[in-house]
Amino acid sequence: MFVSRVNDEVRVETPAKVNLFLEVLSRRNDGFHEIETLMAAISIYDTLIFSENSENEVRLGCAWAAGWQAQENSRSSSRLRESLDSGCGDLPQGSDNLVVRALETLRRRAGVDRGVTVQLVKRIPSAAGLGGGSSDAAAALIAANDLWQLHWTRNQLQEVATELGSDIAYFLGSPTAICRGRGERLEAVDRFTQLHLVIVKPPFGLSTAEVYQQCQPAKTARSPTALLQCGRIGDLGGVGLHLFNRLERSAQTLTPWIDRMKNVFDRFDFVGHQMTGSGTSYFGICHNAYHARRTAAAVRSEHLGRVFCASTLTLHAFPLSASPP
């Protein structure tokens, strides 16, 4: 997560994620599932620009960007505003949007009565298993903490994040982490080889709740230990061999797209491949960055959906406040 401040605006470039490992351990009494997952942040970014307003309201303007890569770093805030449509289209609006909920919750918890206007440019696909909404919400907590000069600690912000959703706390920590519970208990992974990925988002999305509802928790749970060991020593073949996602089988019962992507990926020289999160995005690990670019071009010819070329992030931690210009 990259945070900067220019004059009275805080700007955040916040990443997507993939699940390299996801085991469903049990159903919980609160309606959630007990999971263990290894998540890695990747180089697909949403951009959010935050500024205070005098009306003491939370306002959100959002639109889909024309492209999906983080090429906006050189653009000014005013040009980003000009790229926004008048409405959010198919993006959640008002209190249904996690950004708005995050800001309202932080205002309430901190006891502040200050407004904020947010300009959101989306590149991370929705209903894709890539964590876009959760990442945006984490960015909102970081930016508001700086903009309102709350000086809250990482732990305090993660408490708010846990109240809002399962994956949000992850985006406030290390870019690679083991997440347990319903996703809120974090264990940072301080060393893991960088991965170069090809990701496909098909035209059909899935409801996270429906995918989990179809999932049968593991009778004998798998462990991410072997995957972690391979990642720490840079054994790409071992990483590919130990990829796992318990939810993939559930998603296969809900849409034919998972099998279709799996069959196509089988034809290419991927180190390994699988669905991320609750779907429907599907990713393959490549041998290097050149292999990823070349393979992405070939996969595009299969007309599976939107194709991304990305890499995992190796920064040790995400900043919690903006740096002065």
DSSP label of 43:
E
User: Is the separation of the CB atoms in 49 and 170 below 8 Å?
Assistant: no
17 flagged as catalytic: yes
The active-site residue, picked from 46, 146, 167, 201, is 167
Question: Tokens in use for 254?
Answer: 């809900």
Token pair for residue 144?
């508001």
* Known catalytic residue at 167: yes
Of the residues 17, 46, 122, 146, only one is catalytic, namely 17
Which residue matches tokens 């159903």?
Answer: 27
Report CA torsion sign: 70, 71, 77, 80. Answer: negative
Place of tokens 């318990």: 246
How far is residue 239's CA from residue 317's CA, in Å, rounded to a whole number? 22
* Cβ atoms of residues 271 and 239 within 8 Å: yes
Catalogue the active-site residues. 17, 167
